[in-house]
Structure 1
Amino acid sequence: MPDKRVAGISGNITRPSKTRGFVDHIVHRLALNIGASAQTFDIEDFGPSLPNARLLDDLAPEARYLVSQVIEADVLVVGSPTFKGSYTGLFKHCFDLFDPTSLRGKPIIIAATGGGERHSLIVEHQLRPLFGFFEALAMPTAIYASDKDFADGVLLSEAIHARVGQAVDEATRAVARSDWRSIAA
């Protein structure tokens, strides 16, 4: 079993979803690249205790376990569908429960999906600042995919595949550096 772990979290609450498929695609591509195990979670997986939780301790044990899997992963892929120009509320609420230092120095690929190009700045204006707050190591290449980039939930756009490859290469280099974990210390 690989000693490195890649975790993905999708901000979508419906299944199946393009966002989940997109995050999962990136997670598996990265895991293959670095020889890691892979797992992807939807916000839905956190269960009914998430919406009313004000602290991590308010979450059901299963949801706390998922949080621990995200925090303990070597690298993260986070993505959200665009909802009114931003990430989904439960996605943000989930991360509101994390300790502000819990993602410090952790390599993260940020991604989003949306109905059209006008939402593409979500990755730079919403997701990057969120993970900047956590002092995570967000990869320079963020990835946004619109509805036109998919067919039947499958990513078809060569341009988006190229951006995924670029972000995966950046994350691979970050994980390979022996000093990235010292940032979190």
Structure 2
Amino acid sequence: MVENTANRPLRVVAVSGSLHAPSKTSVLVSAILDEIAEHQDISRHIIELSDIGPEFAGALTREQVPASVEDELRRIENADLLIVASPVYRGSFTGLFKHLFDFVGQYALIDKPVLLAATGGGERHALMLEHQFRPLFGFFQALTLPIGVYASNTDFAEYTLTSDAVKSRVRLAVLRGLPFVHNRDRERDEISAYVGAW
């Protein structure tokens, strides 16, 4: 039976692929979460790879990850909306970010809305969203939302997001993305009702 989502907060799970704390990537993730919360009642959870990375870095199979990481994997798989973000490292997301998603069930993210975000040293890395992130989540058959968010080092003052352009991009990404999330919820509820009628 598919859960009806109408009467509970939207479960939003964010994954920050940064290997360091504090992190500009995590600051960007928080800005996206705050913007979503302006428009929607949400339950938020942030997974920081800088925190949990040492717990699963040496695991070769999901059965080898500790219970704490298994809990995080289940949160990813059960989220209503995923936010995934990584600093650009050698032209792609961090290896530990990919390693975490190697443990996610192959069919667990089908049609799940995913908002893509990244940070990097300069604007030349912005296409990582299109050339690295979208293919990865295309493999999972997830629904990557139309607009991603990229921020470079110059968009921050220390660990504060200061760029009005990036803030506007965050708002646009959320406003354009939430209708896809709501449509998916309605479709799931309709399927649930249809199946229940049988």
TM-score by length of 2: 0.86
> Aligned pair 1:174/2:180, yes or no?
yes
Report the equivalent of 2:90.
84
CA shift in 2, pair 1:179/1:119, >3 Å: same
Structure 1's unaligned 5+ residue stretches are none
Report the equivalent of 1:28.
34
Report the equivalent of 2:144.
138
Say what the alpha-carbon RMSD is for the aligned residues.
1.8
**Alpha-carbon distance in structure 2 between the residues aligned to 1:106 and 1:134:** 9
Residue 38 of structure 1, CA deviation: 0.8
User: Where do residues 119-130 of structure 1 align in structure 2 (5 Å cutoff)?
Assistant: 119-130=125-136
> Aligned pair 1:54/2:71, yes or no?
no
> Aligned pair 1:65/2:81, yes or no?
no
Q: Extract structure 1 runs of 4+ deviating beyond 4 A.
A: 180-183
**Alpha-carbon distance in structure 1 between the residues aligned to 2:121 and 2:188:** 35
Query: Percent of aligned positions with the same letter in both sequences?
Result: 40
Report the equivalent of 2:109.
103
Report the equivalent of 1:42.
48
Structure 2's unaligned 5+ residue stretches are 1-6, 192-198
CA shift in 2, pair 1:141/1:182, >3 Å: farther
> Aligned pair 1:4/2:10, yes or no?
yes
Name the stretch that deviates more: 170-179 or 109-118.
Answer: 170-179
Residue 25 of structure 1, CA deviation: 1.5
Residue 142 of structure 1, CA deviation: 1.0
Task: Choose 1 or 2 for highest CA Rg.
Answer: 2
Report the equivalent of 1:149.
155
Report the equivalent of 2:165.
159
Residue 129 of structure 1, CA deviation: 0.8
TM-score by length of 1: 0.92
SS state at 1:135 partner = coil
**Alpha-carbon distance in structure 2 between the residues aligned to 1:170 and 1:20:** 22
> Which protein has greater RCO, CA pairs closer than 8 Å, 6+ apart?
2
